[in-house]
Every structure is written in C-alpha cells, then in structure tokens.
C-alpha cells in the first residue's frame, strides 16, 4: 500500500520538489514558447526546437523529459515586409546597441505552432500534444502584444510492472485502465519590445480527473492542476557587442509554495552566450550556448541540486537544439525573442 500512496503523490502532485505536474525546464529562456502559446509566430521564420532533460542524475526512476516545438508566422506583410528590421541577407545583431535605432514593432499577423512533450518519472509516463495559435498586434511603434491559446490531448500511462505492492490485488491501483487520454487547454499573453519582454500564461486549465483504481467511489482520484507562469526580462547593453539579459520566472501551482527562477544571460554579438540561474530552494545552474550561422543554435545547462535530494542526485542535464527554417533574412539569432 505504501507504493500505492507514493504513486498517487506522483499523480496528484507531480515529480519535482515543489510538487508540479508539468516538466521542469532550466532553459525556458531559450524557448519560452514551451510555456506560453502567445509566442507562436513571433519571428520571421519557422522556429524548430528540440529539447532533452535528464533530472536528478543517479536517482533511480528520476524524471526524463524530451520535447519538440515548431511555430511559424502567417501574414505576408510580416513575412515579406521589413518587420524583422534587418536588410535581406542579414547583417544585424540584436545584441548590438545600434539595433535599437532600427527596431520597429511587427506588422499585425497570426502565428501557429505545435508542441509534443514526453515526460517519464518512475512508473508514470505522460505525452502532451498541442496545437497553438497566436495573434500579434503592434500597440506602439516599437511595442507588440500577442495573445495565444493551445489545445490538445494528454496521454498518461502507468506501467504497473514497475510497482512492487504489499498486496498485488490492491484496489487503489487496480488491474486496468492504465492508459488514459485527457483534453488539455492553455492560454497566454506576451508583451515585447526592443529591450524587454513580459508574459503570463496558464497550462492545464481543464481540471481533468486522473486515477487508476478499479473502485473510484472508494479511492479518491487525483486531478490535473492548473499551472500559472509569469516571466519578464530586460536587455542591458554593456558595449557595442555585449548584452546582459536578466530575467525571472514566477510559477504558481496551488496548493504548493510559489517557485521563483532568476536568470542572467550574457551574450557576445550574435555568436555565443553564457549564463546562470537560481531556482529557489531547488538548484543553481550554469548555461552556455552558441549560434551556428543562420541555421542553428544550441544550448546546454547543468543544474546543481540544493534541495534535500542533493544527497542522492548528481545534478540535472538539459540540452536544447534550435533550427531556423525558411530564414529568408538570414538572421543569426532571434530578433524578437532573445
């Protein structure tokens, strides 16, 4: 029965120290789209990202997360106009102070996207697939606001063979219904300009029940819990070729304590960056990445656990690979989402 109790803690409260049901990301700053659908179509190319995270190395059954995301703009005025504020053929570095002189808000346009996230922790695995839509509107000469929604389905699977129960016939687990499909809905708002961004979003807005018991009348079932995010960042130019980007993320998942991430990214031209992150009561992280021409970028982070799990965890690894498709302006790093 103890195993059953542990399982339902996982189901109802998630698999991180602060009890979340959605995966943890250290490099969300490299792909805020994974948290906020309002970013769909923010850049003037097809943005493809693939990520992998191995959390709490050395701990048996620790979470492993992988994802792929794709989003692109719709609207000829944006895709073929001067909304990227760079001449065709590239040549502009958004981490250069002179970039501010030519920056202008994007033309009104739509954005569409797709995300697929696979997350596994112990005997429970989950796959979330969502379609995303956003609309971007310039509210001043340099400031845009966008709103977005995402809808899809969550597949939640329990591998009963990985459980060792004191009572093999324990009805809290049951003997069937191990593969469940639940509807999913997210929404967000994003405000962005030449030197700053800010956004709020909510995931798992549909509180679908989750449980694997054959007797739901007797055994309480868990539920998907809404996750709320608020993030902001500001670009500080340290010279003609250097920029510092401090940012923060606030995460609210009731009824557990609020989670706070604080980050600092230091970028040199449009070539490479290094940074650090602190997640309250959880971890410190170091990050680094570089851009490969106008086609690809890559980022890596390593978390050092500071919670009570530091006695059994060797830290967490995360890698994110980005590809720019149909990049007609040959930009070498993101212009609107940095």
pLDDT digits 0-9 by tens, 177-220:
578 899 999 999 999 999 999 999 999 999 888 777 766 666 66
pLDDT digits 0-9 by tens, 290-331:
999 889 999 999 998 887 776 667 789 999 999 999 888 888
CA geometry: angle at 70 spanning 69 and 73, to 5°? 145
Please give the CATH number for the structural domain made up of 23-325.
2.40.160.40
Contacts of 130 (CB under 8 A, 6+ apart): 37, 114, 115, 116, 150, 151, 152, 184, 186
Residue-level pLDDT at 327: 86
Q: If you count them, how many residues does the chain have? A: 338
pTM: 0.86
pLDDT digits 0-9 by tens, 101-113:
778 888 899 999 9
Contact 291, 275 (CB under 8 A): no
Residue-level pLDDT at 221: 66
Contact 51, 254 (CB under 8 A): no
Distance CA 266, CA 243 (A): 6
**Distance from the first to the final alpha carbon of the chain:** 48
Q: In Å, how far are 46, 80, 84, 297 from 77, measured between CA atoms?
A: 16, 6, 11, 27
Could you tell me how far CA 284 lies from the centroid of its own chain?
18
Distance CA 118, CA 103 (A): 37
The residues spanned by each domain of the chain are 23-325
Residue-level pLDDT at 42: 94
């Amino acid at each position: 029965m103890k195993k059953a109790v542990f399982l339902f803690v996982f189901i109802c409260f998630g698999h991180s120290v602060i009890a979340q049901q959605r995966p943890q990301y250290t490099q969300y700053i490299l792909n805020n789209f994974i948290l906020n659908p309002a970013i769909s179509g923010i850049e003037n190319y097809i943005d493809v990202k693939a990520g992998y995270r191995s959390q709490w190395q050395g701990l048996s059954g620790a979470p492993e997360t992988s994802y792929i995301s794709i989003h692109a703009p719709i609207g000829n005025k944006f895709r073929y106009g001067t909304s990227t504020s760079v001449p065709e053929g590239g040549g502009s570095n958004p981490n250069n102070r002179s970039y501010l002189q030519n920056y202008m808000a994007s033309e009104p346009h739509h954005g569409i996207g797709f995300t697929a996230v696979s997350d596994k922790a112990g005997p429970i695995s989950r796959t979330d697939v969502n379609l995303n839509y956003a609309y971007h509107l310039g509210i001043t000469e340099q400031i845009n606001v966008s709103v977005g929604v995402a809808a899809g389905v969550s597949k939640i699977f329990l591998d009963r063979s990985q459980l060792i129960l004191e009572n093999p016939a324990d009805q809290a687990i049951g003997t069937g219904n191990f593969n469940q499909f639940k509807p999913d809905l997210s929404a967000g708002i994003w405000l962005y300009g030449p030197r700053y961004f800010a956004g709020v979003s909510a995931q798992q807005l549909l509180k679908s029940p989750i449980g694997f018991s054959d007797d739901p009348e007797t055994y309480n079932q868990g539920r998907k819990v809404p996750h709320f995010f608020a993030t902001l960042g500001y670009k500080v130019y340290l010279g003609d070729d250097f920029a510092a980007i401090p940012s923060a993320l606030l995460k609210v998942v009731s009824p557990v304590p609020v989670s706070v991430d604080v980050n600092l990214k230091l970028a040199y031209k449009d070539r490479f960056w290094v940074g650090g992150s602190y997640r309250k009561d959880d971890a410190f992280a170091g990050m680094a990445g570089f851009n490969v021409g106008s086609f690809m970028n890559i980022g890596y982070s390593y978390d050092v656990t500071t919670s009570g799990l530091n006695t059994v965890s060797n830290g967490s690894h995360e890698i994110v690979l980005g590809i720019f498709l149909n990049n007609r302006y040959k930009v070498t790093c993101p212009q609107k989402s940095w």
